Amino acid sequence: MSRLFHDFPEAQNEIKRDLAELGVSVQPETMQDIYVRDNPDFRTHELSNYMYTVLKPDYAEIEGVHEAWLQQEWIDRVAGGLNPGNAWKERPEIWEPFLEGTDLSRSGSRFSYSYSERMGGTHIDRIIDELKVHPHSRQLYLPVWNHNDETKRGKRRVPCSLGYWFVYREGKLNITYMMRSCDFFTHYPNDVAITTVLMNYVANATEIEPGTFTHFIGSLHVYEKDVKDVF
């Protein structure tokens, strides 16, 4: 059963309260591919298997979105096949440490994966094409995680997002965003915003009215170092 929120401001406020009141303290072993087992700054306040639905999703109402990153990341994703792309340059303090290779001026510097590679280009186009032919299908899933990620765990970065499920019901296109892990302070606003942009893009391309946004998160968390900025 999913919690129901009218809009994103209500969702963010309630999620904060749930994290503060119900979050369990956990010390993770890694953050992305960085060892943090002995670093108390990365102790987490965590909710497991958290799920909610926003009935009127408007990304413009989300607090904390990095607009320049969002616009460039969307361009990168739609283009498809880009790694590292250009969006990371809008938030270099977050993303530069994860570029593989010590010489960042070298053209071969890249991330262990990119969303542009995993879901961009023809991958989105296939969802659109299938919706036009089989709008009531239950198979409209756009994956991000793949089986090769199983060998990377703990060694290289693997996606926090698992994928996106599109469902056309009662004249509207709904999206369910599935994540294994979500950092509520650093990444949540942008992850949710770009998923809403994706839903609107597919809805516009198929001339379907955008519907609800549902979010399933295996580990929703706030790191100890960020608690003061959240609660």
Q: pLDDT digit string (tens) for 95-122? A: 999 998 755 555 579 999 999 999 998 9
- Tell me, which fold does domain 3-64+119-230 have in CATH? Thymidylate Synthase; Chain A (3.30.572)
Evaluate whether 229 touches 188 at the Cβ level (below 8 Å). no
Q: Give pLDDT, residue 107.
A: 59
Q: pLDDT band at residue 4, thresholds of 50, 70 and 90?
A: very high
pLDDT confidence of 168, banded at 50, 70, 90? Answer: very high
Q: pLDDT > 70: what percent of the chain? A: 97
Give the residue-averaged pLDDT of 125-137.
Answer: 97
Average pLDDT for the chain: 94
Tell me what the mean pLDDT of segment 6-30 comes to. 96
Domain ranges of the chain: 3-64+119-230
HEC string for 169-209: ECCEEEEEEEEEEEECCCCHHHHHHHHHHHHHHHHHHHCCE
26-30, 81-85, 87-91, 99-103: which range is least confident on average? Answer: 99-103
pLDDT of residue 151: 80
**pTM of the full structure:** 0.94
Q: 140-165, pLDDT tens digit by residue? A: 999 999 988 888 776 789 999 999 99
* Mean pLDDT, residues 72-100 taken together: 96
pLDDT band at 130; cut points 50, 70, 90: very high
* pLDDT value of position 102: 55
| Gap between the terminal Cα atoms of the chain | 26
42-46 average pLDDT score = 96
pLDDT at 178: 98
**Using one digit for the tens of pLDDT, what is the confidence trace for 184-227?**
999 999 999 999 999 999 999 999 999 999 999 999 999 999 99
Query: CA-to-CA distance for 63 and 186, rounded, in angstroms?
Result: 12
